[in-house]
Structure 1
């Protein structure tokens, strides 16, 4: 009979392992608030995973409120205060807390939605606000790009008028 392994292997999917590493990078300040996350291709290379696995890792972090995504631009680390606390919608997953050396373990009940928290079409207010925040950030980025294009067009028009 062979001896039992000292610790059972971690059977979580690869995307959770990748999300763990990225989460540690964010929480330890290796990736700063507002900084762009590595591209899907970079994540594939770093973790040796498929495209969808890398996307799933980013989805986990987005669902936790650690990052936000702007369509066509990429994913960025969400802002947090000077104590390292993220927005009210950030709740560390139980399996992360169980494996973290710094954070105390929370029970499953503490990680669920609070009783009596209002819901909107099946989503809590914090989830709706999180989606709205991401949409506002995307619109703000689009607005900034449009302003830059307008400034460039004005500069061309003025340069063309001076030639006449």
Structure 2
């Protein structure tokens, strides 16, 4: 089956959603580093059918502060190492961060923080596979394919929402 795509609005700008075989295979921001050429996104899809309708609904709930964990079928294509890194990204809790070094250590490769950073930068499904939650060892915001302003926005948004949710309990 060929890929299809739709564009949805978000607080971080338009997001291009790409689906392949009924699963989300990419979420790209405008002006994103490593964004593939638009012709690879396939034909325009129907935003009212799945998986696009479900992805858009969950993104809307996420940006409204009502959803902290996505539950979507994903097709992540990459090397085995990238796949392992992207799997770890999905384990970083909402409102929290991890460092490249922590992820490298968790992979059993403590000296591979640079390789983790490169795999993180190639994450094809930003926001949903939360590469924005990875920071430098000193706590600095280092690199983000969507730009540091978007990374800062997403982290601040999650921290505020997480704090507000915890204050209720």
Common topology (TM > 0.5): no
Higher helix proportion, which one?
1
Higher strand proportion, which one?
2
The structure whose Rg is larger is 1
Q: Which structure is higher in RCO with an 8 Å CA cutoff and minimum separation 6? A: 2
